[in-house]
Every structure is written in C-alpha cells, then in structure tokens.
Chain A
C-alpha cells in the first residue's frame, strides 16, 4: 500500500555540527536513527608517516596538528614518550615539569571550554558559546605570551622546556585562576539546571561502564560512566603526584553526566593551576633543560607512553631501530578516534537531534581522529 523505506542521509562532511569533516551515514526512519555509520579520513594527513621521516624534535610541531585544540598535551605526550625511550624521564628539571603541568592544565581548560561552547550551540544554546570563548581567549593570550603561538603551540622540547615563564606570566595565570571559578558558575547557571538542557541531555547516549571499557573509551566519557580512572592519578607523570585534585565521576553515564564531569574537571584543573603557581615560584628560574645530548638517537626498543589528554588517553607507541635519529615507527593512539567508535552504538534509536548532542559529548577533533 505504502512504499515504506528508510531515508539515507549524509550527515557531513560539510555540516555545521560535525566538528570538522566527520561524515556520518545515517539511515533514518522519520527522524529516528536506525543506523549511524561514521566515515572518517577526510583530514588524514599521514602524520605517522611523516614521523618516520623526520628527527624526533622535528616531529613536535606535527603533534600540534593532531588535536589542534589541545596541542600542549599532544606535545607533552610525545616528548614524554621520547624521554621514556631515551631513559631520561627522571632527569627533567622540576621547573620544566611544573611548567609542563601548567601548560597542559591551561590547555585542558581551553579544550573543555571549546567543547562546552560547541556542545551548547549544537543543542541550541547560543550564549554559552560566547562566554566560553571569552575565557578561552584569555588562555590563548597566556599561551601567546609563553611561546608566541596561540593554537599550535609547539611549546615543549625533548628533555625540558624551550623557554622560561616570561616576566609577569605567572601572576597573570594567578589572576586568571582567581576569576575562572566564577566563570564556570556562569556557564553552569545557564545550563546545569535548565530544564530544556536537561531534557536534551539526561538519558541520552547512556554508556555503561562495561560498555565503555569494552569500547576502549577513555577520558571524560569513561569517567562520566562512573569509572574513576584518570592517568594523572593512575600512572602519574611529571609533578602530578604532589598535586591535589579530585577525579569527578558521573553516575548514569549519559550526556548530562559527561557534561557535569567536564565542568567539574575544569574546576579541578583550575585547582591544579592554583597549586602549581607557588610550586614553580620555589624553583630556580632558568633551570629548564635536562643535560641530554642534542642528537637524539634512542636505543633500539619500543615504548608505549600515554598521558591524560583533555579528550582521554593519548598514547604514543614509538619503535626505535637504534641507528637513526628518527622513529622507525610512531603510532599515535588518539582518544577521539577510539571514543568516536562508540557513536553508532550510542546513536542507535535516538533522534537526529540527539546525534548532534552525542557527537558533541564524545568531544572529537577530526584532526586527531584522522591524523
């Protein structure tokens, strides 16, 4: 009688809310998603291939371009992996360690701010976007003051840090930290108790802890499901063992819990930053580089090192042949790539409107997914 068949929609790669060039092939019945199939690779630049053809220090700028909204943590993961294969992890001066933590926590806040901005505007709340960018702009200014770049920082070196904190920089961070909690309150006052926001997020894309581990989910989505696991605490690096912070976890594993987790994480990062300022002021200015050879030629072997990037576990698997100054193989374990894999499972049975909320809540950056 009727010709009933589902509609196929190409969601992306040119679509306002796919956060880049993600393409989701949707099969929809009315507006209900029967099947969602992410198709990636539109931003594939062969970063891993490039890593094999350049010396280790030359790779650092290329790590910036993977998760381009959190380049400091990308740098951190890479330099730590190389330091690990060199066996010089213990030699990094304390001041450099604290500087790295400061930069990566600032980066975490800025990445989460960008997430909140886009997540909110995906769900239709326009105003938090601008509020988030207001604070993010201040963080980018801090980055600019430190290394001259705002987005692709290239701010870490194997064996230390390139620059000391510029004059007055730490005070600026302190001033930022003092204001930032109030700013988070402001975002939360717009969203957290908003009924429409809750209706759009509570119960959407529920991810059980078992599923999360099965799918390899890391970062805030994992913690939103109630698994208290953060690499900064589980396998601490740099000076994290001496810093006090809580790991926020959710209960239901839905979009709303992931939202709450990230909001709490921003506050925790701010707390870490506040502790770092006095710590770094106790150290000797200028003591930034470990005494390691300028020519970086690691011994034959392989390491996998991972850190807690804003989006989850960012790992580098480096194979060195012991003969050359470049990695024989450098595989990146990008958190977004793995987290995105759960999208079909999360989206099934939800509406098209929820798909944008789910893409937002996974917090993907396509530069990292496709590398």
Chain B
C-alpha cells in the first residue's frame, strides 16, 4: 500500500482524475449557473428547455459542440490553428494537481513546496494558445484579439504576481498547504492583505478575459476576437480552458486569501485539526467548504459580467500599469514595514477599517432623483 510507486504515481493519478472529473463537472455546471444567473439578473429566463430548469443543458451543449461541423479556414495555418485551443487546455488541467482541495494529505493531489510558483508558471502559458489561435486563423479580428490578449495577460500577470507577494511575506511559504494552515491559526489573509486581495480579484478577472476586461473576445468590437474562426469542439476547448482557468483562479483566491478548506480563524472553528479529527467526513466537509467558497467567487465573475460595461484597451492598460502595479508595490512595502516592526496583527485593522469604509459608501442612502428633470440634460 505504501510502496513508492503507489505513493508517488498511482494515488496522485487517481486523485487527480477524481479532482479533474469534479472540476469538469463544475465547469459544465458553471456554464449552466452562469446562464441561469444572468437570466435572473437580466429579467429573463435563461436556459429552461432541456430537462428540469434546463439542467440537461450541461450535457446538451457538449453534444452540440461534438456534432457540429469543425470548420478550418482554407487559409489558416493548420498546425498552429489546431494547437490554438489545445495549448491553453493543458496547463488549465495540470494545475488541478497542485490545488489543495481539502485537508492534506488525502484531499490534496500533490504537495509541492513551490506550488504557488508552479501554478503561476503554468497558468501564464495559457496565453500562447490564444495568440497562436488568433494568428493562425488568418483573420484580422482574430489577430487583434490575440494581440490584445497577449498585452492584457502580460500587463496583468505583474499585479497578479505582486499581489501574492504580500501573502508570501506574511506566511513565509510558497506551499499552499502551509499558507492555509497559517490562516487558520491567524486571520484569513484578506484582513491584513485587503489591498492585495482587491488587486488579485481585479487581476484574476483580467487574466480570464471576463467582462469588464473581456477585450480579446469583445463581440461588439472584434466579432468574437481570437476564436472568431473556431467552431465545434475547438471552440468548446477554448471555453473549457477559460472556465477551468476561472476555477483555478477562484481556487487560488480562496486558498491565498480566504482560508482554503477551513472555516475558522485564530485556531477557533473548523480548522484542519478539527476536520482531521472527524476523519473521512471531515475531509469531505473541508472539500465542500472549499468548493462552496470557490463557487462564491465564480458568482462574482457572473455578477461583474451582468453589471459592468467593457473597458477600452488603453484604459485597461492604464488601470493595470498606472494603478494596480504601484498599488501592489505599495502594499508590499507597507507589509514589509509591519513585518519588520513585528506588528503583523496591526494590519488586521487596515482590513477592518477598509471594509467598514466600503460598506458605508455602498449603503449610503442615495438622493432621490427628481421626477421630471429640467431643461438641460444634467451634463457632466
């Protein structure tokens, strides 16, 4: 049972397959949830024909993609065109090996001591497929979509990485399990690292080309961006990779800032030790907690999509380079000062005060609009 072969190959493989299947079900479910939720946001129904409340849409969509004609443009660069959808898919799947879904060792596929770096390295390779696909389609819109995607990924990879540095400084490890264990004995990282958490949230939206930043596939500008010329299963692969990456980024968000599989702070509540004490049930409970948190962040993606208009490209770059990167650097600086002073716990107050201010701003009673506006449209 405990031979090296079993320990290093078979068990990880089995666990990876289980994780993979669960995540793929989540991806399919997410598709349905997104459409239903958007329907809810937008005063319409969403898919409701196939099965109960349209649930079988999860199956109907892939079947449709499988059966559709796979069109390859005559002037496309065939090999690159074929590689385009495959390349983002591979890292999106491998990354699930490294995510700790539940209390280790049972519910984590592999524990790598530089897990975070590995995840960052893998996820950033996904953009190659998009660029390749956009270029190989031999379509100007696709090319522009691919280029936009490249520029966007490069720009937002920096704040994405920088926002994590603060967490690493506090926790002192690149190992995701250690980071979670640190959070359950201290506060969840979103409290001391509220700025980094916000930057991470924005950057992960941008990384995934989701709505306020969905410029590479902006359908009103670039028809469909890099996947304009893709159809059938190749298109589905792009979508699969995108949704998988959304889940990966949500997993990272939960692991880094929201306590992973635990539901407790300062050693109180459902910490890893408590879950381990419950045995197998505790592990499953931890995994469920993790998945629930991940789904909450997936809903935030949908919520953003329903609410925001799209940025323009230069504004996106402006936001990334002029605001997010300096902010992330400043956050690292402030964190370093607190750590040097040995007053890490004082940073919690930063989070508490920021959340309080944000709540005050959001729930401030708004002035009622006049019933009949005056002659001049209230121009800016």
Contact = CB atoms under 8 A, between A and B. Distances in A.
B380 A252 contact: yes
Interface stretch (A62-70, A72-80, A260-268, A279-287): A260-268
The range of chain B's interface size is 35 or more
B364 interface: no
Interface stretch (A115-123, A157-165, A234-242): A115-123
Interface in B284-331: 305-315
Contacts of A247: 375
A249 B307 contact: no
B214 interface: yes
Given A17-B221, A126-B306, A127-B42, A351 B312 contact: yes
A196 interface: yes
Interface string A112-143: 00000000111111110111001000000000
B158 interface: no
B213 to A, nearest CB: 10
Interface string A1-19: 0000001010000011100
A284 B220 CA distance: 50
A125 B41 CA distance: 12
Nearest to A10: B140
B307 A127 contact: yes
A246 interface: yes
Interface string B26-67: 000000000000100111100000000000000000000000
Interface string A245-258: 01111111000110
Contacts of A7: 140
Contact of B42 (A15, A122, A131): A131
Interface stretch (B12-20, B73-81, B262-270, B366-374): B366-374
Interface in A14-50: 15-17, 31
Given A134-B43, A260-B379, A353-B218, A123 B373 contact: no
B220 A17 contact: yes
Most chain B CB inside 10 Å of its own CB: which residue of A121, A125, A252: A125
25 contacts: A7-B140, A31-B144, A124-B218, A125-B308, A125-B310, A126-B42, A130-B42, A131-B42, A185-B369, A190-B307, A194-B308, A196-B212, A196-B309, A196-B311, A199-B311, A199-B315, A202-B380, A250-B376, A260-B379, A264-B373, A267-B373, A351-B312, A351-B313, A352-B144, A352-B221
Q: Nearest 7 CB-CB pairs, A to B?
A: A124-B310, A260-B377, A125-B309, A130-B42, A251-B379, A17-B220, A248-B377
Given A124-B220, A250-B379, 13 more contacts: A126-B38, A127-B306, A130-B42, A131-B42, A194-B308, A200-B315, A224-B377, A249-B376, A250-B377, A256-B379, A260-B377, A261-B377, A355-B221
